[in-house]
Amino acid sequence: MEEPRSNEIPPNGPDIEVRVREEVARGSVSRDRATRFYDRIRTSIHEFNEGKGVVGKTAEYLMLVPDMFMLLWRLTTDSRVAGKDKVLLGTAIAYFILPFDLVPEAIVGPIGYLDDLVFAVYVLNKILTSTDISILRQHWSGDGDVLETIQRVLTTADTLVETNVASRLKKMLKRS
């Protein structure tokens, strides 16, 4: 199979959603392939931040997006994670992939992944009641401690996305 395309950003910014869909369409992902996917997404967001001059907390939180996606993905394949939790994790993965969400990436670009990030941490926080934190730590690719990262995003959720978006994301999770 042909190797991934270059990391150059198209004129309208990185099309992360297309890359995510391509990976899902390919079926199960080996650890090596997942790592390459993670690296491509991370590079694309980094280049977007640099190219658009995105700095500070927004850039920091955008860089968490690929880390959270990979964490969700890895947890869904871990036999130590309960089936009911895998359903929630799958919901969060689908939220990343589906083009129709509360802040659509197709309209606002990678900034639209902030609501996906918030939803992911709501899901991760919820599964912590039945999944040992050491499992999350084992699968975490990001910097720092995953639990501290989850708490930091939860604390700032209303500033990352509008308060009404954060409220709707919480309601979606309660229905699950």
pLDDT tens, position by position, 111-147 = 677 888 999 999 999 999 999 999 999 999 889 999 9
- pTM listed for this prediction: 0.71
Alpha carbon distance 33, 68 (integer Å): 17
CB atoms within 10 A of CB 135: 17
Tell me the one-letter amino acid at 151.
Q
Residue pLDDT, tens place only, 64-78: 999 999 999 899 989
With a cut of 70, say whether residue 44 has pLDDT above it. yes
**Cα separations (Å) of 115 from 64, 135, 166, 170?**
12, 24, 8, 11
